[in-house]
Structure 1
Amino acid sequence: MRVEIIAFIIGVALLVVGLAVSIGLHEIGHLVPAKKFGVRVGQYMIGFGPTLWSRKIKGTQYGIKALPIGGYISMAGMYPPSPAKEAAGGRAAGGFFATMVQDARDANDETMLTDHDVHVFYKLPVWKRVVIMLGGPVMNFLFAIVLFAILLSGIGVQTATTTVASVSECVIPADAGPTACESSDPTAPAAEAGIQPGDVIVSIDGTAVSDFAETSEIIRASAGEQLSIVVERDGEQQTVRLTPATATRVETDARGYPVVDDNGDTQYVEVGFAGVGPTVEYVQQPIWAGPQAAVENVGAVAGIMWQLPVRIYDTAVDLFTGQERDPNGPLSIVGAGRLAGEVAATDAPILNRVAGFLGLLASLNIALFVFNLIPLLPLDGGHIVVALWDGLKRAWAKVFRRPPPKPVDATKLVPVTFIVVIALVVMGGILILADLFNPVSLF
């Protein structure tokens, strides 16, 4: 038990480090193009809260903060300078949101040395602003591709191969209680045919098979029919004759789940049964498997993000009713850490644990990629929309030969940003509570 606890803590710690690396890469994706395009960057920070370490290099303060739940870079002139203040003392009038807008403008003005400062974000061409804001999410996407490539092409995918691991001695009915063979049970066809553990199934009735799924499909469809099976044993090929027995098994759908009727009763089907168990090995995938997996995950995560408010509501209902949560639903950082701990503490070979951790970290980076592209401030997608709107206004004025419009003042959207932030905090709080008291478990 003590070893499992230590392994769980190590898994959580590794996820924190992996998340910090992911955040750092995200902010580098913003930092590098910003500096390349001449924008002054005052700070590059990983995390929030108290500063643990910082150092100023070439005008930029680099640092690490205590809570690795995000990061940021501060660029000069994210928004245009404030218009001339007419109110006494220069403060905005009009209530809470008007004050918020003015505070945002004042904070933005402090990042610019003068009103004519050229090293500012808002003066860049639209495409450069889009590149800077896209840089962060794209870095998460590229990191996910690397992680998936290591997982799929470096380690491989656990696959049931055509190498025989075990041979059943008898045919046991699906609804039988005991798992040991009785004297009345018929001999399994594979044992009767002389197939042995270690044999490699090469072909069945002239059809070459490359994995156990193909082998099983042929056998299940051939109940009562004699099959000619070529196996390789000790480097030599030999042919055996095998007639699959008819066995009753639980019917499953394409995902492997049991099929039930309208009354909720499990459905059974009669299939061919040989009695061979496969060897499971890691099979390395082609190099393009990593990018393909990343793209497929983007689609899956985008589907969840599109329904995020509904998913959060369902999670809250499950939390208060005690129902089991959807394992494919959203998680907080607490839930992700818990899964990482479970992966590290499970009783499995170390390679399996590494593969599980890499898959989890890659999925988190896909989630960061998709989430940050949501077109709402303060997310990167919101800044991209503002830049595109500014470019559209300028293009419209140019087409109709009108004077160039003023830059889009995104500080006017601060009230909307405030509402979005509150919504994100509420949803994050619900997920954290659910991950603490009604967690999703891998096992």
Structure 2
Amino acid sequence: MTILLTVLGIVLFALGLLISIAWHELGHLSTAKLFGIRVPQYMVGFGPTIWSRKKGDTEYGIKAIPAGGYIRMIGMFPPGADGRIAARSTSPFRGMIEDARAAAFEELQPGDEDRLFYTRKPWKRVIVMFAGPFMNLILAVAIFLGVFMGFGTQTQTTQVEAVQKCVIAASEKRQTCEPGDAVAPAEAAGLRSGDTIVAFNGKPVKDWSDLSDRIRATIGPATVTVERQGQQITLHPTLAKNMVAKKDADGQPVPDQFVPAGYLGFLPKSVIKPLTFEQSVNHMTDAVENSVHSIAALPGKIPDLWNAAFDGGERKADSPVGVVGAARISGEVLNMDAPPENILATFMMVLAFFNLSLFLFNMLPLLPLDGGHIAGALWESLRRNVARVLKRADPGPFDVAKLMPVAYVVAGIFICFTLLVLVADVVNPVKLA
């Protein structure tokens, strides 16, 4: 059953991946056709074509490797300064430029002169290139809202799940008491599982975050008012000083960072609680910020990835994962010992973060990513507007093809990084637990 669920999870992720890619390319396709650009191909996947059908002047198809997709637009790059589009130089860099230029015109047909991508105004080209990543953002937002508002998130409450028997520093990362450990203040004061803390030091508590902060700020005698079997009881613990997990600006624990603070010694009960629209937006904002920071931190994670892939090093929980890694995680999700709705919500969150990553990654202003073409169109618009203000001659289209040598370098780096992540995902994968 475990193998079957793992395979099912991988298949479902592959299906979600195909849908996400097709949805991305649909954004490019629909806006390109809206602005009259001819699109000979709309393909989901790479490699050999396993199915295709031509409708109008576009061939729609699915390829064997579900690791990406593309549309082909006529005239992605302008002709050279002499108006020609054929390769004319033995220079390797010039060859890259002219090969890319020739590929942009290789399916040119009579009547296509007014259907070329580069002839559209810069703002239209920005829309065409932005539409693909934007579709991934729309899908991510829809999934986030659906999960946050329809299902909810794990929320800690002020109800006591369990009481710690002794004082153990969080930095020690152990669960069992050892001889010499001090008795936990909650245990000594008589706090019980099932109690709900309603006040701390005589003041009502709002939620777990409020209670946690006030406990951390207190070392020494305190009063804790709990509701137990319909009655309120006041306990008098003496809070100990202990090393506890450090919190970030959002109140979330920071991995492997600890600070001295007041310690009561109990585990709060967690419940699944649907969020309001405002709370959901706040959670999505946090997800975007964390994803941006993760992308910015990718270069610094390469040494750890290399060690995990080739030297048997630890694969950290925040390590980058690729398609293979995400598929394996999806297989683990379906094997979780949890209610079906929890499993579905977790699986959908994997897809949501995958689409959010596609959006952010594609917005990097580097060729061959969509953001690179957007940057080229914006630069062209700036040049032309400056020339207009200064009453100079129109500089014409910005020749993005001249950046192809840089694009090949960027693509090479991406491919090497992707292969490194792939090896790490196979030999030392990230695991849920």
- The letter of the residue matching 1:30 is H
For each residue in 1:237-269, what CA deviation from the matched residue of structure 2 results, as whole angstroms up to 9, or x when unmatched? 532131225567553322265667xxxxxx987
For the residue of structure 2 that corresponds to 1:252, the secondary structure is strand
Q: Determine the C-alpha separation between the residues in 2 that align with 1:386 and 1:190.
A: 65
Classify 1:128/1:203 alpha carbon distance in 2 versus 1 (closer, same or farther; 3 Å): same
For the residue of structure 1 that corresponds to 2:320, the secondary structure is coil
Are 1:400 and 2:393 matched, yes or no? no
Partner of 2:106: 110
For the residue of structure 1 that corresponds to 2:291, the secondary structure is helix
Aligned with residue 364 of structure 2, among 348, 369, 374: 374
- Mapped contact 1:81–1:108 kept (Cα < 8 A): no
Gaps of 5+ in 2: 248-252
1:96 deviates by: 3.4
Partner of 1:39: 37
Paired residues for 1:13-32 under 5 Å: 13-32=11-30
For each residue in 1:377-422, what CA deviation from the matched residue of structure 2 results, as whole angstroms up to 9, or x when unmatched? 1110110111122222222332233332332222232222222222
- Mapped contact 2:137–2:356 kept (Cα < 8 A): yes
Q: Determine the C-alpha separation between the residues in 2 that align with 1:333 and 1:116.
A: 37
For each residue in 1:59-118, what CA deviation from the matched residue of structure 2 results, as whole angstroms up to 9, or x when unmatched? 22222211111111111221224565889xx65232434333333222222343348721
For the residue of structure 2 that corresponds to 1:315, the secondary structure is helix
Q: Determine the C-alpha separation between the residues in 2 that align with 1:178 and 1:143.
A: 41
1:149 deviates by: 1.4
Q: Determine the C-alpha separation between the residues in 1 that align with 2:396 and 2:378.
A: 14
Aligned with residue 373 of structure 2, among 383, 397, 400: 383
- Mapped contact 2:186–2:264 kept (Cα < 8 A): no
Q: Determine the C-alpha separation between the residues in 1 that align with 2:183 and 2:408.
A: 71
Q: Determine the C-alpha separation between the residues in 2 that align with 1:32 and 1:105.
A: 24
- The letter of the residue matching 2:151 is I
Partner of 1:100: 96
Partner of 2:250: none
1:364 deviates by: 1.4
Q: Determine the C-alpha separation between the residues in 2 that align with 1:123 and 1:51.
A: 30
Classify 1:439/1:71 alpha carbon distance in 2 versus 1 (closer, same or farther; 3 Å): same
- Mapped contact 1:42–1:61 kept (Cα < 8 A): yes
- The root-mean-square deviation of aligned C-alpha atoms, in Å, is 3.5
For the residue of structure 1 that corresponds to 2:156, the secondary structure is strand
Partner of 1:300: 290
Classify 1:30/1:288 alpha carbon distance in 2 versus 1 (closer, same or farther; 3 Å): farther
- Mapped contact 1:44–1:73 kept (Cα < 8 A): yes
Partner of 1:53: 51
Paired residues for 1:24-423 under 5 Å: 24-81=22-79, 91-114=87-110, 117-165=113-161, 171-172=165-166, 174=168, 200-204=196-200, 206-215=202-211, 225=221, 227=223, 229=225, 231=227, 233=229, 237-244=230-237, 250-254=243-247, 255=253, 271-273=263-265, 278-423=268-413
For the residue of structure 1 that corresponds to 2:118, the secondary structure is coil
Classify 1:40/1:430 alpha carbon distance in 2 versus 1 (closer, same or farther; 3 Å): same
Partner of 1:263: none
1:270 deviates by: 6.6
Number of positions where the alignment pairs a residue of Structure 1 with one of Structure 2: 423
1:428 deviates by: 0.9
Classify 1:161/1:95 alpha carbon distance in 2 versus 1 (closer, same or farther; 3 Å): same
Identify the range of structure 1 (370-379 vs 279-288) with the bigger mean alpha-carbon deviation: 279-288
- The letter of the residue matching 2:76 is M
- The letter of the residue matching 1:18 is G
1:282 deviates by: 0.6
Identify the range of structure 1 (216-225 vs 411-420) with the bigger mean alpha-carbon deviation: 216-225
For the residue of structure 1 that corresponds to 2:395, the secondary structure is coil
- The letter of the residue matching 1:359 is M
Classify 1:44/1:231 alpha carbon distance in 2 versus 1 (closer, same or farther; 3 Å): same
- Mapped contact 1:82–1:106 kept (Cα < 8 A): no
**In terms of Rg, which structure is larger?**
1
1:277 deviates by: 5.0
- Mapped contact 1:312–1:330 kept (Cα < 8 A): no
Q: Determine the C-alpha separation between the residues in 1 that align with 2:262 and 2:216.
A: 9
Identify the range of structure 1 (406-415 vs 382-391) with the bigger mean alpha-carbon deviation: 406-415
- The letter of the residue matching 2:150 is G
User: Structure 1 residue runs of 4+, over 6 Å off?
Assistant: 177-180, 185-193, 220-224, 267-270
For the residue of structure 1 that corresponds to 2:88, the secondary structure is coil
- Mapped contact 1:39–1:121 kept (Cα < 8 A): yes
Gaps of 5+ in 1: 261-266
- Mapped contact 2:218–2:261 kept (Cα < 8 A): no
Q: Determine the C-alpha separation between the residues in 1 that align with 2:25 and 2:348.
A: 21
For the residue of structure 2 that corresponds to 1:79, the secondary structure is coil
Classify 1:374/1:231 alpha carbon distance in 2 versus 1 (closer, same or farther; 3 Å): same
TM-score for the superposition, normalised by structure 2: 0.84
For each residue in 1:305-350, what CA deviation from the matched residue of structure 2 results, as whole angstroms up to 9, or x when unmatched? 3343342244224433322133223222112222222222232332
For the residue of structure 1 that corresponds to 2:64, the secondary structure is strand
Classify 1:244/1:50 alpha carbon distance in 2 versus 1 (closer, same or farther; 3 Å): same
1:158 deviates by: 0.9
Q: Determine the C-alpha separation between the residues in 1 that align with 2:159 and 2:257.
A: 29
- Mapped contact 2:167–2:184 kept (Cα < 8 A): no
1:58 deviates by: 3.1
- Mapped contact 1:304–1:329 kept (Cα < 8 A): no
- Mapped contact 2:217–2:261 kept (Cα < 8 A): no
- Mapped contact 1:138–1:369 kept (Cα < 8 A): yes
